[in-house]
Structure 1
């Protein structure tokens, strides 16, 4: 029970941190934070759906894969993390005063914050939603850190987003993903930290059907 509560506390922190990176630094410039973020930006652009709800809706659709491949415990944790992230995006969706007005500064800051949040979530054996579910499945099957598959999966979403909204977004999104996935791998490999030693039970031992 202590380990479970500790895991959910870290999931709360990870989702909250991830939402801050999205809402304050990336979304104001329409920079997608990932596959789900890219689709959320497109839904907001096309039909003016609030970004927080669009993000939750896209992420919810990935739960079936999380339940089947990663187990119920991971799926519940993923849904909880997605909800915390969406609430964080909603709470921090306001104009932040900055002594500068530079998209590249926001991109770097937001990407690092995003990567820390996503890394905490993945280290607890839950996904940050969207393509993170698939990245976690690949990482589980191949026993690798999830940063690289997450980067490759999200790249396709960025190309679509950039072709519809603006091509510079593709470059910005790829740089953002490179920075954030580097942070994901750093956090994911911090196995010596006591707080990260107890992921939600069930996802690592679940056998993979071939």
Structure 2
């Protein structure tokens, strides 16, 4: 990769980190914070501490994350810490700029829904481009390697504690709305990172695998890979088909297989990311 391409990649990386921070600030300042609805993680703690102390939120967002950034630098890497610090500083600046502006709604449900959507898209962009707004994720990544709990389970534990604390500070009705905003933001993060089009991986074991492959390539426009397999019981060599399809193509794939071999063994699983190869469907004439 040339120096020019590397510089361009860094430019777009930090541009999208900045956009993500801007969206997160909009979700917080226009919807969530004015209605005493909080997010999870360190941002949620910062909102509560800012409310109780009357000091600026932006200051706490950066200061409370610093110990986690130091921890992340030692255990995860410099690039992640730089991206996270840039995102946190951008968010801190934007919440300070937007704070004096009026809120867009006083309806708690609308605030929770739209605040969660906008915040989730913003955080999703930041995560997609290598940063984070939540120091608890750093702790979760480290603990994941040392305990039997997953990153998601550890983050969920932290956030349940934080959202329970919100009930003590703002009242239990606001805590429940915070929970709604949190789950909406969580889903929007997944959509932003993985995209709206869900991808599935299929493995097919059949005595008519070559014919199935031909029909799949002709009717779905998808490439098919043959893997060498061997039956554990029969000891016979079998060709295993591997292919990637979209969620909308799953039913078409099943129909093709049923038409050719209704006794074929098929497994279909989620794919979180696909790189290389012919991913996009080509036009079929």
TM-score bucket (shorter structure):
0.7 to 0.9
Check whether the contact 1:40–1:51 (CA below 8 A) recurs between aligned residues.
yes
Unaligned runs of 5+ in 2: 1-5, 196-272, 276-285
Query: Which residue number in structure 2 is paired with residue 177 of structure 1?
Result: 182
Aligned 1:119-138 pairs, distance under 5 A: 119-134=124-139
Shift of 1:10: 1.0
* Equivalent in the alignment of 1:69: 75
The Cα shift of 1:88 comes to 1.1
Take 2:91 and 2:72, find their aligned partners in 1: how far apart are those partners?
A: 17
In 2, distance between residues paired with 1:176 and 1:138?
Answer: 26
| Bigger Cα displacement from structure 2, 34-43 vs 113-122 | 34-43
What do the CA deviations read for 1:161-183 (whole angstroms, capped 9, x no partner)?
21233112221111111000001
Q: CA RMSD in A?
A: 2.8
In structure 1, C-alpha distance between the alignment counterparts of 2:124 and 2:151, rounded to whole Å: 9
Counterpart residue number, 1:204: none
The residue number in structure 1 matching 2:118 is 113
Say if 1:14 and 1:116, in contact at 8 Å, map to a contact too: yes
Superposition TM-score, scaled by structure 2 size: 0.60
If asked which structure has higher relative contact order (CA below 8 Å, sep 6+), I would say 1
Q: Alpha carbons of 1:81 and 1:97: their partners in 2 closer, same or farther (altered >3 Å)?
A: closer
In structure 2, do the counterparts of structure 1 residues 30 and 47 end up closer, same or farther at CA, with 3 Å as the change threshold? same
In the alignment, is the contact (CA less than 8 A) between 1:147 and 1:182 conserved in 2? no
Match in the other structure for 1:94:
100
For this pair of structures, how many residues does the alignment match?
191
| Bigger Rg, structure 1 or 2 | 2
Match of 2:244 in 1: none
Task: Give the corresponding residue for 2:54.
Answer: 48
Residue 25 (structure 1) aligned with residue 49 (structure 2): no
Q: Does 1:4 align with 2:10?
A: yes
Distance 1:83 1:97, change over 3 A: closer
Aligned residue in 2 for 1:153 = 158
Higher relative helix content: 1
Higher share in strand: 2
How has the CA–CA distance of structure 1 residues 109 and 17 changed in structure 2, closer, same or farther, with 3 Å as cutoff?
same
Q: C-alpha separation between the residues in 2 aligned to 1:136 and 1:121?
A: 17
Return closer, same or farther for 1:138/1:183 CA change in 2, 3 Å cut-off.
farther
In structure 1, list runs of 5 or more residues that go unmatched. Answer: 194-210
CA distance in 1, matches of 2:103, 2:37: 19
